[in-house]
Amino acid sequence: MMTSTKVKPLLVNYKTLEEFKRFKEYGNQELAMLEDLESNIVENDSESPFFGVYYGSALVARMSLYRVRAKYDKYFVPPQDYLELWKLEVLPDYRDMGFGKDLVEFAKSFELPIKTNPRINSHGFWEKMGFQKANYDVERDLGENPLIWMPTGVEERNANA
């Protein structure tokens, strides 16, 4: 599959952490990364779970990807490793330029199923990206409205079976 060369893995360093402050979804994850860097728990320029798109030298879009192991998979058949995608966000001035799509296509290029818990009002975007609502399972999905995407050959688990 074609992957965008625009999408870069983001390293944990002070510059990246400063750029993260421009995003609305900034919270515990970013603060923990900053603390780990300050207390030398992680080295400068170590890998982060984030990927981003730069416009010139500015980070304008980002997402976090986490690989969930098969033994914790409650979404797909057969149970398998999948990607949890979160904190997908494009800065307001750079929306509708294809950067959100670039990030999602990059995530798809791993050829693993993807799960995300979308923000309100972004359903149109996810639908365009080929994501579908997971069959709602109250125990599994409490407080979430998971959307999933599956590569060829993967099926959704029937949560209510």
Ligand X SMILES: CC(C)(COP(=O)(O)OP(=O)(O)OC[C@H]1O[C@@H](n2cnc3c(N)ncnc32)[C@H](O)[C@@H]1OP(=O)(O)O)[C@@H](O)C(=O)NCCC(=O)NCCS
Can you tell me which of 101, 110, 140, 159 binds ligand X, judged by CB under 6 A? 101
Task: List phi, psi (to 5°) of 150.
Answer: -125, 135
Name the residue with tokens 């500015």.
Answer: 58
Does residue number 8 form part of the binding site for ligand X (CB under 6 A)?
A: no
Does residue number 67 form part of the binding site for ligand X (CB under 6 A)?
A: no
Q: Whose Cβ is closer to ligand X: residue 100's or residue 113's?
A: 100
Contact 69, 80 (CB under 8 A): no
Does residue number 4 form part of the binding site for ligand X (CB under 6 A)?
A: no
Contact stretch for ligand X (CB under 6 A) within 13-21, 38-46, 85-93, 153-161: 85-93
Does residue number 145 form part of the binding site for ligand X (CB under 6 A)?
A: no
Q: How do beta strands 132-133 and 147-149 pair?
A: antiparallel
CA 51 to chain centre: 8
Closest approach of ligand X to the CB of residue 107, in Å: 12
Q: How do beta strands 58-68 and 46-55 pair?
A: antiparallel
Chain residues binding ligand X by CB under 6 A are 88-90, 95-101, 119, 121-122, 124-125, 128
